[in-house]
Structure 1
Amino acid sequence: MLTAVTGATGFLGLHLVRELLARRRRLLLLARPHPLPAPVRVERFLRTCGADAEELRVARTHLQTREIALEDGFLGLGREGFQRLADRIDVLWHCAGDISFGSSLQQARRTNVDGTRHVLRLLTAGERAPLLCHVSTVAVAGARPDGVVEEKELDASFGFNTPYEQSKFEAEGLVHRWVSEYGGRALVFRPSCLATHRPAHPDRPHHPLQVLARQVGAMLRRHPELTGTPGPMALPVPAGAGTNVLPVEHAAYAMVEAAARHTGDRPRIHHVVNRRNLPMTEVIAALGDHFGVPVDTSWRSSRAPQDMRRTLPAYAYWLSFSRTYEGAGLARLGLACPARPVVDRDYVAAALH
């Protein structure tokens, strides 16, 4: 059985590959051209994670790679190469995507929507009936501010804060139409904000909390007056604001295990989320610790930047929500987020390094 993976060298993708290798899956990494081949980057990641000799041996013997262009209708393989690939695949994990909040809608659609369309075309063209494991996101809920987002929901009525949200919504919609029109077999996973408290290394992409820290650092450089006067820096947080942060190690394990247990042709949607939302006050406190700056999270603080949404987009994005997410799918399988490690201020502080 051959399992193909797009986005294998991304933050989540690397952890998914490790979980798949632990189950002795034969993997084909569908990767963009890069100076370092994808298997080399995977092996370097495994070494930094403390992989033993047997795990490294399995990686060397179970990994193949094929360079693709996700935005091209034939994935950059030409018609014949595209067909040969389609006839080989039994399972495809589609993890590749544009996750930047800074991309335009056109840019985000090129990767997230068109790329998904081309992957679905690949799965339809072959002689097999492959299983698609599509990595979506809880961000498909768009600008919905509160309430419980159910796994069966895919609702655009609240609009979207970012092109990323809209493009991922549209991409997931393609998957559901593919299932209904072509009888495709699919699992849809919607992870929340994924992070890790394990030390960073050059071969692992940054996770969203690290990106947020980078934006805060840039803001501090642009607004030295925030830390140059007596008293704490103001990063106001409205009551109830929170985000859902999940250790990537658990997310990857739960997703791969859920796929391994999947039977039949009925599609499933799984929220891959923490049981507990993380209050934004804890995130901001950890950021203050990280930069050595005392922080005032009072919403009425007079020292806040005049246009927080323009100054710190990711911060304003997370402040929009107090919503939570149903997690019944993985819970039924016994794969709900465990109580440890606790994702709190200390976890975020470790994740920022």
Structure 2
Amino acid sequence: MVASMLVGFAGTGSSATSLPGNHARSEPAAVRTLSTGWTVPWGLSWLPDGSALIGERDSAKLFRLTRDGEKTFIGTVPEATARGSLTVDANDGVLGIAVSPCWEEDHYIYVMHTAEEGNRIARMTYDGSTLGDYTVLLDGIQKDVWHNGGRLKFGPDGYLYATTGDAQNRVLAQDKDSLNGKILRMTADGKPAPGNPFDSYVYSYGHRNPQGLAWDPQGRLWESEVGENTHDELNLIEPGNNYGWPACEGSCTNDGMTNPKAVWPTSQASPSGIVYADGDLYMAAMRGKRLWRIPVDGAEAGTPVAHYQGQYGRLRTVEKVPGRNTLWVLTTNTDFNGRQPAGSDQVLEVELTGGDSR
């Protein structure tokens, strides 16, 4: 069993530390509002020109946002449904977005979204101005008002990874024949990826509501996960491993179950997106209303530090801007828990200083 770290009351800043080889870690510094007028933005993925595709969960609308903050509507995801609004306590709709690593050749983008029969992963083409050729790649992922997972990213191996929640049916997380409560791994055409541990889509299991995926430079996969009442988790994902839900929330001593690398009281996190930058994982916190910076050294996580606590409200997604030492952070203050008027969400740009942009 790997010992986990329970985060108590971490500070709001720290002195810079070093990575192996005396590379300096960066520090989050100045924050500016890059774009306003959003309503529950959720997924973000980069296009080769440095602009980003961003989707709104409830409206199913996709937008292109440039680094200058120019926002362009490009289309709506077909067949997407959502119950979420300012008056409905729900977390379904258009969730993760992933631009094909071969976009210059195939012009594919991938989305995970809720439909009438459940959650699904679909592919569309984007010619630089409009969406088309909607194709369902994987369906049959059970849905519920909550616990739909939804993060979608291509890994360094070229395969597509997706997080799925237990759809509030906790027994599904331990059922390796179910697509729920899992991290899935598939080809760009929607087939189970070669080398998956169970000859299926399932890459890891025993997850409650996994929300974030990020790879470090050594190719290790890290995942953030929303707990129930006690502990949220940061996990290091290994293929075929069982991460314990529902028998374990946080660390436990059950045989065959993998403990998290760090845990938080749910009041301090309710994590969503994560990203790696300069030796640290950055984790967006919804209920915790802060950006967590977690140093990582190999396969171990150090002491997390909270930044911007309470300053920008609920944080949903964080991604590093390619080629720049900055992060983009999406707020989620217009959902049911945020209770802010439609159009109140923002895209924030966070400057990282003192690092080497590793």
The question of a shared fold, defined as TM-score above 0.5 by the shorter chain, is answered with: no
Which of the pair is proportionally richer in helix?
1
TM-score by length of 1: 0.29
Which of the pair is proportionally richer in strand?
2
TM-score by length of 2: 0.29
